[in-house]
């Protein structure tokens, strides 16, 4: 039987990061990463295989970091855990461990839609061979219906349109695409961009059945409408893969993930969990959070990998930071949107600023950028923000997240000492983050 100090199960964003973090904090320990896949796709890059990138082979997480950090790799299926003996059982060999990290990820939600088992109906699996096969099927299809207008659905739709003149329709049950991730004005703006690129959006619409013989021929939606379809993509979210944890009788949380404490430790003191398979709590109040993102997974992995033989880090809760782009237009969210804050019971003050991200506005690369900040009315603490525009959106969203995590107030943000340059940033006179905070301060003073 192989004996290893640290075993990590799962080789995607969480597993890889956990193994490398463990190596940095415990340089003398032996580390083994176990995964089933020969190659692992970059999760967030999967939609771009079907347009921009062009092939699954160009969207892979390399094994080089494992080699550089002396992490041994075993391609096997983890089948069970003997917790008392600290033995992980696999279909290749059993491994004895001191500490175990479970990073088994998630799998797509399969909705109970009649006909969803027909040929031509596909979920989005994180498997290179599966994605290569799906790519060929999409290339051969003409009428494609995507169920779900979240990040993956919108990104897939746009990328598929790039690959040829196909009829692509996104069906979304909410009033707007991306309705769970952004406030209405941002959703409406993205919806217009998506439609301008040839994608049909059907919002406030429910898929009632997938019709045809053995293979899909059409999709029946609410309102009596039928959409022609020779391929259907299901994109309505993911559920935690907790099969291994359940077999080992580890505690499962309220949203279906492996229950962990703030150190990412499970109900077994020698076993940790991180990534999509792990239960999450919100930064805002500590209630269970359903969010599943690669960025969250790597954050949790850095906590788990550091804490294996002594607590060094704790999880403050999931803030929720994300962005998406269609063409040259991008939108991002950090923390709570105005609608999310309202649902949680916060009394808020919001402020929005719009303007060019260069100065003067005629500088090369200038694009209109919008920033909306949401503050708690009584304390002035930043709860979240949204950004729309071009290439600056991703990093500006991350800056908003830093402010949220530090519980900064409108006054503190207004007093940022910023660096600006005509070719790189908005004007210091009209810097959106600072000016939105100033506007919010003015509203709070009026209300006091």
Cα-atom radius of gyration of the chain, to the nearest Å? 23
Q: What percent of the chain has pLDDT over 90?
A: 98
Pairing of strands 87-90, 95-102: antiparallel
d(CA 161, CA 138): 11
d(CA 386, CA 319): 13
pLDDT, one tens digit per residue, over 368-379 is 999 999 999 999
Residue 447, pLDDT > 90, answer no
CATH 3.50.50.60 spans which residues of the chain? Answer: 2-107+239-306, 121-236
d(CA 168, CA 160): 8
d(CA 244, CA 81): 8
> What per-residue confidence (pLDDT) applies to 165?
86
Residue 163, pLDDT > 80, answer no
> Measuring CA to CA, how many Å separate 129 from each of 34, 54, 92, 134, 166?
19, 14, 22, 9, 23
Architecture of domain 121-236: 3-Layer(bba) Sandwich (3.50)
> What per-residue confidence (pLDDT) applies to 325?
96
Beta bridge partner(s), residue 331 = 324, 388
User: Which pair of structure tokens corresponds to residue 382?
Assistant: 């930043």
| CA torsion angle 420 422 425 428 (round to 10) | 50
- CATH number given to 2-107+239-306: 3.50.50.60
Q: What percent of the chain has pLDDT over 70?
A: 100
Residue 156, pLDDT > 90, answer yes
User: Which pair of structure tokens corresponds to residue 1?
Assistant: 């039987």
| Rounded average pLDDT over 6-28 | 98
d(CA 303, CA 260): 12
Residue 164, pLDDT > 80, answer no
> Measuring CA to CA, how many Å separate 416 from each of 389, 420, 438?
22, 12, 11
| Rounded average pLDDT over 85-99 | 98
350 close to 338: Cβ distance less than 8 angstroms? yes
Residue 226, pLDDT > 70, answer yes
- CATH number given to 329-447: 3.30.390.30
| Burial tier of 310 (Cβ tally within 10 Å: 0-12, 13-18, 19+) | exposed
| Burial tier of 250 (Cβ tally within 10 Å: 0-12, 13-18, 19+) | buried
pLDDT, one tens digit per residue, over 104-152 is 999 999 999 999 999 999 999 999 999 999 999 999 999 999 999 999 9
d(CA 409, CA 402): 12
pLDDT, one tens digit per residue, over 184-223 is 999 999 999 999 999 999 999 999 999 999 999 999 999 9
> What per-residue confidence (pLDDT) applies to 19?
98
348 close to 338: Cβ distance less than 8 angstroms? yes
User: Which pair of structure tokens corresponds to residue 32?
Assistant: 């083994």
d(CA 258, CA 76): 21
167-171: strand order across its sheet: 121-123, 231-234, 143-147, 167-171, 200-202
Q: Compute how many other C-beta atoms are within 10 angstroms of the C-beta atom of residue 112.
A: 5
H/E stretch holding 212 reads strand 207-212
- Eight-class DSSP state of 331: E
User: Which pair of structure tokens corresponds to residue 302?
Assistant: 């850095």
pLDDT, one tens digit per residue, over 78-90 is 999 999 999 999 9
Beta bridge partner(s), residue 169 = 145, 200
pLDDT, one tens digit per residue, over 412-426 is 999 999 999 999 999
Residue 448, pLDDT > 80, answer no
């Amino acid at each position: 039987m192989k004996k290893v100090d640290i075993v990590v199960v799962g080789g995607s964003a969480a597993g890889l990061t956990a193994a490398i973090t463990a190596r940095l904090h415990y340089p003398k320990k032996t580390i083994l990463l176990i995964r089933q896949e020969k190659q692992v796709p970059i999760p967030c890059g999967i939609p771009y295989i079907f347009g921009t990138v062009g092939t699954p082979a160009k969207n892979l997480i390399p094994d080089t970091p494992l080699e550089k950090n002396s992490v041994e790799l075993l391609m096997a299926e983890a089948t069970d855990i003997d917790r008392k003996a600290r033995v992980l059982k696999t279909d290749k060999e059993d491994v004895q461990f001191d500490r175990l990290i479970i990073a088994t990820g998630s799998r797509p939600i399969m909705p109970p839609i009649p006909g969803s088992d027909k040929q031509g109906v596909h979920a989005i699996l994180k498997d290179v061979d599966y994605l290569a096969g799906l790519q060929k099927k999409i290339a051969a299809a003409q009428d494609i219906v995507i169920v779900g207008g979240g990040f993956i659905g919108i990104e897939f739709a746009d990328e598929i349109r790039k690959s040829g003149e196909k009829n692509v329709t996104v069906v979304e049950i909410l009033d707007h695409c991306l309705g769970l991730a952004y406030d209405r004005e941002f959703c409406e703006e993205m919806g217009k961009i998506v439609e301008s690129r040839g994608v049909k959006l059907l919002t406030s619409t429910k898929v009632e059945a997938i019709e045809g013989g053995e293979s899909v021929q059409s999709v029946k939606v609410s309102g009596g409408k039928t959409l022609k379809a020779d391929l259907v993509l299901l994109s309505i979210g993911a559920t935690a893969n907790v099969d291994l944890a359940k077999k080992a009788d580890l505690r499962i949380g309220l949203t279906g993930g492996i229950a962990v404490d703030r150190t990412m430790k499970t109900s077994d003191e020698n076993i940790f969990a991180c990534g999509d398979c792990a239960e999450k709590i919100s930064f805002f109040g500590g209630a269970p959070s359903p969010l599943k993102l690669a960025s969250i997974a790597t954050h949790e992995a850095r906590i788990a990998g550091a804490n294996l033989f002594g607590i060094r880090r704790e999880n403050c809760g999931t803030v929720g930071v994300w962005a998406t782009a269609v063409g040259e237009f991008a939108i991002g969210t950090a923390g709570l949107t105005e609608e999310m804050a309202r649902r949680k019971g916060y009394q808020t003050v919001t402020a929005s600023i719009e303007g060019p991200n260069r100065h003067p506005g005629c500088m090369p690369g200038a694009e209109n950028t919008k920033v909306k900040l949401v503050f708690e009315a009584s304390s002035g603490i930043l709860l979240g923000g949204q950004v729309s525009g071009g290439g600056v959106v991703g990093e500006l969203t991350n800056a908003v997240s830093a402010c949220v995590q530090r519980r900064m107030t409108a006054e503190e943000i207004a007093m940022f000492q910023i660096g600006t340059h005509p070719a790189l940033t908005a004007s210091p006179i009209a810097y959106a983050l600072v000016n939105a905070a100033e506007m919010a301060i003015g509203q709070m003073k009026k209300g006091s």
